[in-house]
A and B are shown apart, each in its own frame.
Chain A
């Protein structure tokens, strides 16, 4: 089955800095890669996703890149703000549409 690795497990940045979270996946058949943000005690919420026919997608301060050859994808957050502090999960899914999640990255943005 699919295996998703996510790094780093914890990321601490100063407000205004950029943050990058990286994930790799194992199943070349995976074609959909969502990113979820989970604030403490809350539900995971989709923040951005990318499909395998696209290399990069941007939505305001967040962007995701995908390298299908290397089987890795990354989340980039620019101009971080304290409210960006949360746990971020990457995921990969293919034909079954069941996402396999990474272990999560705890992002801490210091004011």
Chain B
């Protein structure tokens, strides 16, 4: 069964540094998402992406965040200048035409020191 993949699995960075988290959605899916989950808390929506543009974003997704689909398979989340509070697990997800069932990747655990 096809799965969403993410790299890296873990990332440690210094405050103020830029990070890029990478995702490969399921190949025939059209809608892509980023979520974050602070340790012990619920999954929070960051941004959705369709047809090469952002379709929705949450209040969390401020100017420090950006997303890109640089080629036909990858979907990236960039944090320009990381803050301590960006430390979390970041999940990518994708959906097909129905847009309902979210298929999550394994996540990238980001630690900002």
The reply to whether chain A is a binding partner of chain B is yes
Q: List A residues at the B interface (Cβ < 8 Å).
A: 32, 34, 36, 42-46, 49, 89, 93, 96-104
Question: Which chain B residue shows the least CB distance to A45?
Answer: B104
Q: How many contacting A-B pairs (Cβ < 8 A)?
A: 44
**B33: chain A residues within 8 A (beta carbon):** 98
Q: Mark B1-13, 1 if CB is under 8 A from A, else 0.
A: 0000000000000
B27 CB-CB contact with A under 8 Å: no
A99 contacts B102, CB within 8 Å?
Answer: yes
Question: Measured between C-beta atoms, what is the minimum distance from A48 to chain B in Å?
Answer: 11
A89 contacts B42, CB within 8 Å?
Answer: yes
Known: A43-B106, A93-B100. A98 touches B91 (CB 8 A): no
B101 contacts A46, CB within 8 Å?
Answer: yes
Q: List B residues at the A interface (Cβ < 8 Å).
A: 31, 33, 41-45, 48, 56, 91, 95, 99-107
Known: A89-B43, A104-B42. A43 touches B104 (CB 8 A): yes
**B105: chain A residues within 8 A (beta carbon):** 43
Question: Measured between C-beta atoms, what is the minimum distance from A49 to chain B in Å?
Answer: 7
**A93: chain B residues within 8 A (beta carbon):** 100
Question: Which chain B residue shows the least CB distance to A104?
Answer: B42
Name the contact of A98 in the complex, choosing from B41, B48, B103, B104 (C-beta under 8 A).
Answer: B48
**B100: chain A residues within 8 A (beta carbon):** 32, 34, 49, 93, 97
**A32: chain B residues within 8 A (beta carbon):** 100
Instruction: Write 29 A-B pairs (CB below 8 A) sorted by A numbering.
Output: A34-B100, A34-B101, A34-B102, A36-B104, A42-B106, A43-B104, A43-B105, A43-B107, A44-B104, A46-B101, A46-B103, A49-B101, A89-B43, A93-B100, A97-B31, A97-B95, A97-B99, A97-B100, A98-B45, A99-B45, A99-B102, A100-B45, A101-B43, A101-B44, A102-B42, A103-B41, A103-B42, A104-B41, A104-B42
